[in-house]
Amino acid sequence: MKISRRGFLQVGGFSFAVAMILPRVAFAARNALRSMRTGVQPGNKTRLVIETSSKPSYSLSYPENQLVVDIANMALDSSVKPTLASGTLVSELSQVQSGDHLHVVAKLRKPIAKLEKSQIMLLEPNGDNDYRLVLDFSASAAAAQKIAESVTSAPATKTPPKKHVIIIDAGHGGKDPGCIGRNGTREKDVVLSVAKRLRAKLEDAGFKTYMTRRDDTYLKLAERAEYAEQKKGDLFISLHANANPSRSVKGFSIYTLSEKASDEEAKKLAESENAADKIGVDGFTEFERDIRAALSSLQQHAVAEMSEEYANGCARAFRANKVEAQPGPSVRHAPFAVLRSTVPGALIELGHLSNSSEEKLLKNPDHQNRLVAAIVRSIKNYNFDV
Ligand SMILES: [Zn+2]
């Protein structure tokens, strides 16, 4: 039985420890199926919702004309009857026990493609709802074609695997120098140099990359986020260097978007990074207005979860590559304007220009390569697909 890496992550940590300590029977009874239902979403999408008592650890598979959701540690419950909406791709929903896993089997009217991360949401309990695994999908002409080809036993046409798109954002630029080191090093120059090295290494590793800026130009924060949307980025990496009133503070830190800052330091940092836009034209751009409306809470939740997963992996890669971490949590959250889009990602503060020894390091090509190696490692380890 195939369990995705994502599935493993969710079984990992606490629940895995519990499994080893508690009797098997207690572990097996851990999760329960509450409900399963389908609905129609705008754009003629089918939505499948599986509600469970605990956070499900799951994987997806796609046998012919079926979508199977494999949920660990769950027993079949015949009292849970499916609620099927009309006009969806799902003609039947059933439960099949397989060891201590439950398979929720959706029979499909038309073939679908493998679900992307952005089509899957795991929602925390709220109000009357328990945990909900929400899957959105529509019929795929390509998947239908593939089946037709296999039926006629024509040799399968090999399509090269899709390249994942990484948006590299070198912070600041042009009239906005970013922070300036004790010896005059400008943040905008350091991060552009790292961004160019990162681009080369990622292209070598088979990723498709786009840079928000390739030279010393000024870009508004919303323009950077908008660019990531336009290029259909799978991951957005914003590169920065930090400054601290205390010159002894050094080390990297990584940030993801949240409307509420995780701590006072993160809040101040977001304020200073967001101040870059005040140098530009005032007022909201159309993109900023649109993105606020477009980002439904469901999407925000999914993007936040993916960003968090990336940021944690990135912090691990930095530590593994022996890059010094700033004291305190390595991953923090704050309302960074540049991260406000539907592309998951993180803002990386590579180190402190306010610390003279780190300022020297940040200019050093060997150190820049070490930082780049850590970021490449984190991107290679990131699970783009479920
Ligand atoms: Zn910055």
- Going from the Cα of 362 to the center of ligand 1, the distance in angstroms, rounded, reads 14
- Going from the Cα of 106 to the center of ligand 1, the distance in angstroms, rounded, reads 47
pLDDT of residue 343: 92
pTM of the model: 0.62
- Going from the Cα of 217 to the center of ligand 1, the distance in angstroms, rounded, reads 14
pLDDT of residue 37: 95
- Going from the Cα of 347 to the center of ligand 1, the distance in angstroms, rounded, reads 9
Show the tokens assigned to 301: 């939740």
- Going from the Cα of 286 to the center of ligand 1, the distance in angstroms, rounded, reads 24
pLDDT of residue 23: 34
For residue 203, is it left (φ>0), alpha (ψ between -120 and 50) or beta?
Answer: alpha
Alpha-carbon span 242 to 268, nearest angstrom: 11
- Going from the Cα of 170 to the center of ligand 1, the distance in angstroms, rounded, reads 9
Per-residue pLDDT of the chain (386 residues), as tens digits, is 333 333 333 333 333 333 333 333 334 448 999 999 999 888 888 999 999 999 999 999 999 889 999 999 999 999 999 999 988 999 999 999 988 899 999 999 999 999 988 899 988 888 888 999 999 999 988 877 776 766 555 455 556 678 999 999 999 999 999 999 989 999 999 999 999 999 999 999 999 999 999 999 999 998 999 999 999 999 999 999 999 999 999 999 999 998 788 999 899 999 888 887 776 544 556 666 665 555 556 667 788 889 999 999 999 999 999 999 999 999 999 988 899 888 999 999 999 999 999 999 999 999 999 999 999 999 999 988 75
- 210 bridge partner residues: 167
- Going from the Cα of 215 to the center of ligand 1, the distance in angstroms, rounded, reads 16
At 262, is the secondary structure helix, strand, or coil? coil
Helices in the chain by DSSP H: which ranges?
5-11, 14-21, 24-28, 141-151, 187-204, 221-230, 264-274, 286-294, 297-320, 356-363, 365-381
- Going from the Cα of 231 to the center of ligand 1, the distance in angstroms, rounded, reads 23
- CA 334 from centre of chain: 16
- Going from the Cα of 369 to the center of ligand 1, the distance in angstroms, rounded, reads 19
- Going from the Cα of 114 to the center of ligand 1, the distance in angstroms, rounded, reads 38
- Going from the Cα of 339 to the center of ligand 1, the distance in angstroms, rounded, reads 13
pLDDT of residue 275: 84
- Going from the Cα of 172 to the center of ligand 1, the distance in angstroms, rounded, reads 6
- Going from the Cα of 237 to the center of ligand 1, the distance in angstroms, rounded, reads 13
Domains and CATH numbers, the chain: 5-151 (2.60.40.3500), 165-381 (3.40.630.40)
- Going from the Cα of 168 to the center of ligand 1, the distance in angstroms, rounded, reads 14
- Going from the Cα of 295 to the center of ligand 1, the distance in angstroms, rounded, reads 25
Contact 307, 343 (CB under 8 A): no
Pairing of strands 345-352, 331-334: unpaired
Torsion of the alpha carbons at 362, 368, 370 and 376, rounded to the nearest 10? 130
- Going from the Cα of 310 to the center of ligand 1, the distance in angstroms, rounded, reads 20
- Going from the Cα of 241 to the center of ligand 1, the distance in angstroms, rounded, reads 6
> With 0-12 CB in 10 A as exposed, 13-18 as middle and 19+ as buried, what is 365?
exposed
Alpha-carbon span 195 to 138, nearest angstrom: 37
- Going from the Cα of 372 to the center of ligand 1, the distance in angstroms, rounded, reads 17
pLDDT of residue 44: 83
